[in-house]
Amino acid sequence: MSTVANCPNCGAPIRFRWSSAVQTVCEFCRSILVRRDLNLEKVGVVADLPENSSPIQIASEGVFQNRPFVVIGRILYEYEQGGWNEWHVVFSDGASGWLSDAQLQYAVSFQVPMQGLPPAESLANGQRFTWNNVEYEVSCLTRAHYRGVEGELPFEYWDKTEVLFADLGSRGMAFGTLDYSDPAPLLFLGEAVEFDALGLKNLRQFEGW
* Per-residue pLDDT reduced to its tens digit, 42-86: 999 998 888 888 999 999 999 999 999 999 999 999 998 889 999
Predicted confidence (pLDDT) per residue in 194-204, tens digit? 999 999 999 99
Q: Band the pLDDT of 29: cuts 50, 70, 90.
A: very high
- Name which residue leads in pLDDT, 30 or 205: 30
Task: Encode pLDDT of 164-193 as tens digits.
Answer: 999 999 999 999 999 999 889 999 999 999
Please state the rounded mean pLDDT for residues 20-31: 94
3-state helix, strand, coil in the chain (%, to 5): 5, 50, 45
> What is 1-53 written as a DSSP string?
--SEEE-TTT--EEE-SSTT--EEE-TTT-EEEEEETTEEEEEEEPPPPPP--
| DSSP label of 196 | G
Can you say whether residue 17 is alpha, beta or left, with left for phi > 0 and alpha for psi between -120 and 50 degrees?
Answer: alpha
- Give me the count of residues in the chain: 209
